[in-house]
Every structure is written in structure tokens, then in C-alpha cells.
């Protein structure tokens, strides 16, 4: 089977001088469950590519969210040389190998492009404290455990919770849910006091007035100024630093091919995702879900990944989440 694949690949490599193109349907591999931020983004790209006819072959989304996303990583690792699978990655590529000792290293994959940076926001129930200061006081004063919901254990949300504790001196009970959507509804139902969801995960409940954004974990405010609710836009949310809690974290959204694909194949996808970032679908999505637009490829991307990896590693180590 492998030999056959290699043979077809070799046969295809020869006449591919005019530029390689996929000959089979292309799979976008999502390392998260249905409805999560990665899934939404993958569906947006699927729609953008199909509606604008950016590629001849059809594109499908395959959900590989098993084992907190490790399933997708192992799937990409085992698809070496297959140019018809592209992973939509986020910070789990650094964190999962550290916390759960998954035998995976992103350097074994072929980087294509970083296509966005996702924000994190501190949210509480709209019936809860109205500012970061009141929130921290409430957490400190609480007699029962003060509950923070999040996605997964020893990951972005959990790390942020630990750093919030360090900077504020408050104590949280972290409840790891299976998805950001679940964390959102549990906050609305008052089963947790707060969460640190990505904007996209809490957008709808915010618009419905059920949760309140307290601060955004970034150096500067989000730039989108059109109104999301009746009174507020993304840009109206203060940064956590402004509110006296200096915690920052941005999460990459990047595309990877499996290892050992040819330069032409890589180039095809760089071009493809570059075109995707020019579409109306992409721009609309970035604004609606408050992502930071960014497009990095080649050397810039690798340098970015190395720095981001080092940063995540030090955060994970400091939080005590690295498995021995």
C-alpha cells in the first residue's frame, strides 16, 4: 500500500513542473470536536475555497478531536508524504507533547502558513461582578470553591487560570470541560463563575446578554470597532493589563502538511491559503470572531513557531504541567 502511494507520488512528481495540484479530495484535519473554534474555522475555509473555486478538487473537513486532539496529531504524523491532508493547528502542538507525553513534534510536519492569532477573554456571568477588580475580590472572598470553566486539562485555559491565580492571589477551582461551547453554556447556567473562552466560543451568549467580557489577555485592545451587542464592540473590552492584571496570551491558528511532502506541494498550499486570506469569507470571519489577522510562511513562520514554542514551554513549566 505504502509502496503504491510512493509510486503514484513519484509518477506525479515528474510532470508536475507546471505546478503541483491535488488529484484527490483534500482533507482539512481538525484537532477538536464539532462546533469548536477550529471546526468553525475549517468550515469557513472549506466554504471560502469552494465558493471562490480556489481549487479543482473538493475539500472535506475531518474531525479528529479524540484524545483532546492527540488523535489529529498522530494522524498527521502517520500520513507522512501525503499531500492531501492539511492540519489546522493551534497551541496544542506545543502543549500536548509536554503534558501527556504524546510522541509528537511539530517539526516533523511541513509548515504551510500561520493564518491568524486567537484572543482569550476573561468572562463572567452577566449577573456576576462587573469589573476585574470586583471579580478578583469576589474570588478572594468566596467561601466555596470559585469555579473557572475551560477546555481540557493542562492546556491554554488551564495555564491562563494558573497565571491569573499567580497575579491576583485569588484561588480558582478549574473545571476542564470537553469544549469551549460547553464551558460557555455552563457559565450561562451559573454552574461556573467564569471562563477564559476565545471570542468565538462566547460570542453568541454575549450577544444574548448572558455573559460579560471583563478583559482581554493581550498587550493591546482588539481593533474591531463595529458593535457586537447593543452597546459594546470588541474594542470596548479593556486589556487585563489596563485592569491591573498583567497576563497575556495569544494562540496561533496555523496550517501544516504532513512530513516529507515536496516543495511544490508545499508551495501550492501556501498559495492556496494566501488566496483564502484574501476572500470575503475569511475577512468576515476574522472580524466576527475577533481574530488577529496575520499571514506568515517560510522562514518567518518557522521563526515564529520556534519562539512561540519556547514561550509555551516556559509557561507550561512554570505552571507545573510538564509530565515527568
Partner 1 sequence: MEAFGLLLHGFAVLLTWKTLALMMVGLVLGIFVGVLPGLGGPNGVAILLPLTFTMDPTSAIVMLSCIYWGALFGGAITSILFNIPGEAWSVATTFDGYPMAQQGRAAEALTAAFTSSFIGSLVAVLLITFLAPMISSFALKFGPPEFFAVYLLTFCSFVGLGREARHKTVISMSLGLLLAGVGMDTVSGQLRMTFGSSELLRGINFLVAVIGLFGISEILLTMEERLALRGHAASISLRVVLGVWKDLPKYWVTLLRSSFIGCWLGITPGGAIAASFMGYNLAKRFAKDPETFGKGRIEGVFAPETAAHASGTAALLPMLALGIPGSGTAAILLGGLMVWGLNPGPLLFVEHKDFVWGLIASMYLGNVVGLVLVLTTVPIFASILRVPFAAVAPMIVVSCAIGAYAIQNAMFDIWLMLGFGVVGYVFKKIGIPLAPFTLALVLGNRAEDAFRLSMIGSGGDLKVFWSNGLVGSITTLAIVLLFWPAIDGLLGRLGWTQRTGATAR
Binding site for partner 1 (CB under 8 A): 33-35, 39-40, 43-44, 46-47, 50-51, 58-62, 64, 66-68, 70-71, 74, 77-78, 99-103, 144-145, 147, 152-155, 158, 173-178, 181-182, 184-186, 188-192, 203-205, 207-208, 210, 321, 323
Please name the residue that has the C-alpha cell 493589563: 241
The CB-of-66 to partner 1 minimum distance in angstroms stands at: 3
The CB-of-220 to partner 1 minimum distance in angstroms stands at: 27
Q: Residue 4: CB partners within 8 Å, gap ≥ 6? A: none
Which is nearer to partner 1, 40 or 168 (by Cβ)?
40
Burial class (CB within 10 angstroms; exposed 0-12, middle 13-18, buried 19+) of 56: exposed
Q: What are phi and psi of 165, to 5 degrees?
A: -60, -45
The CB-of-212 to partner 1 minimum distance in angstroms stands at: 15
Q: Read out DSSP for 215-253?
A: EESSSS-----SBSSSS-BGGGSPBTTTTT------EEE
Q: Please say whether the beta carbons of 197 and 183 come within 8 A.
A: yes
Which is nearer to partner 1, 33 or 129 (by Cβ)?
33
Which is nearer to partner 1, 46 or 119 (by Cβ)?
46
The CB-of-112 to partner 1 minimum distance in angstroms stands at: 21
Which is nearer to partner 1, 188 or 294 (by Cβ)?
188
Q: Read out DSSP for 43-97?
A: HHHHHHHHHTT--SS-EEEEE--TGGGHHHHHHHHHTTT-TTEEEEE-THHHHHH
The CB-of-2 to partner 1 minimum distance in angstroms stands at: 12
The CB-of-101 to partner 1 minimum distance in angstroms stands at: 7
Which is nearer to partner 1, 176 or 238 (by Cβ)?
176
Q: What CA–CA distance (Å, rounded) separates 218 from 202? A: 17
Which is nearer to partner 1, 40 or 297 (by Cβ)?
40
Amino acid at each position: 500500500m505504502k509502496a503504491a502511494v510512493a509510486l503514484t507520488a513519484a509518477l506525479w512528481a515528474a510532470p508536475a513542473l507546471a505546478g503541483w495540484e491535488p488529484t484527490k479530495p483534500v482533507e482539512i484535519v481538525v484537532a477538536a470536536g464539532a462546533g469548536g473554534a477550529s471546526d468553525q474555522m475549517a468550515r469557513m475555509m472549506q466554504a471560502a475555497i469552494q465558493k471562490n473555486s480556489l481549487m479543482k478538487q473538493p475539500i472535506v473537513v475531518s474531525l479528529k478531536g479524540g484524545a483532546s486532539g492527540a488523535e489529529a496529531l498522530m494522524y498527521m504524523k502517520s500520513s507522512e508524504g501525503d499531500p492531501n491532508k492539511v492540519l489546522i493547528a493551534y497551541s496544542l502542538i506545543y502543549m500536548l507533547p509536554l503534558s501527556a507525553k504524546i510522541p509528537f513534534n511539530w517539526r516533523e510536519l511541513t509548515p504551510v502558513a500561520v493564518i491568524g492569532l486567537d484572543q482569550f477573554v476573561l468572562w463572567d456571568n452577566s449577573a456576576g461582578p462587573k469589573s476585574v477588580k470586583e471579580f478578583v475580590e469576589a474570588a478572594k472572598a468566596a467561601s466555596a470553591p470559585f469555579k473557572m470553566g475551560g477546555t481540557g486539562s493542562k492546556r491554554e485555559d488551564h495555564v491562563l487560570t494558573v497565571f491569573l491565580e499567580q497575579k491576583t492571589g485569588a484561588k480558582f477551582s478549574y473545571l476542564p470541560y470537553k469544549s469551549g461551547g460547553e464551558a460557555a453554556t455552563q457559565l450561562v447556567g451559573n454552574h461556573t463563575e467564569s471562563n477564559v473562552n476565545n471570542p468565538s466560543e462566547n460570542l453568541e451568549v454575549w450577544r444574548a446578554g448572558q455573559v460579560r467580557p471583563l478583559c482581554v489577555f493581550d498587550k493591546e485592545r482588539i481593533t474591531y470597532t463595529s458593535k457586537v451587542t447593543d452597546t459594546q464592540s470588541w474594542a470596548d473590552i479593556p486589556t487585563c493589563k489596563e485592569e491591573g492584571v498583567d497576563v497575556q496570551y495569544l494562540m496561533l491558528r496555523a496550517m501544516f502538511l504532513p512530513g516529507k511532502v515536496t516543495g511544490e506541494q508545499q508551495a501550492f498550499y501556501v498559495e492556496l491559503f494566501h488566496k483564502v486570506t484574501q476572500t470575503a469569507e475569511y475577512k468576515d470571519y476574522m472580524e466576527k470572531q475577533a481574530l488577529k489577522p496575520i499571514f506568515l510562511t517560510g522562514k518567518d513562520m518557522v521563526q515564529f513557531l520556534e519562539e512561540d514554542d519556547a514561550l509555551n514551554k516556559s509557561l507550561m513549566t512554570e505552571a507545573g504541567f510538564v509530565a515527568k
